[in-house]
Amino acid sequence: MIGNVLLIAISLLLCGYLLYALLKPEKF
């Protein structure tokens, strides 16, 4: 149960980071 919550949280963080990277490409 806790593993599923952690997996969902990590995937959400990764998706958010990818979206932020796409919106702000000049940071890289």
CA–CA distance from 22 to each of 2, 5, 9, 11, 26 (Å)?
30, 26, 20, 17, 9
DSSP-derived letter for residue 1 is: -
Model's pTM, two decimal places? 0.60
**pLDDT per residue over 2-28, tens digit each?**
889 999 999 999 999 999 989 887 765
Q: How many CB atoms lie within 10 A of CB 15?
A: 10
pLDDT of residue 28: 56
Dump the DSSP string for 1-28. -HHHHHHHHHHHHHHHHHHHHHH-GGG-
pLDDT of residue 17: 92
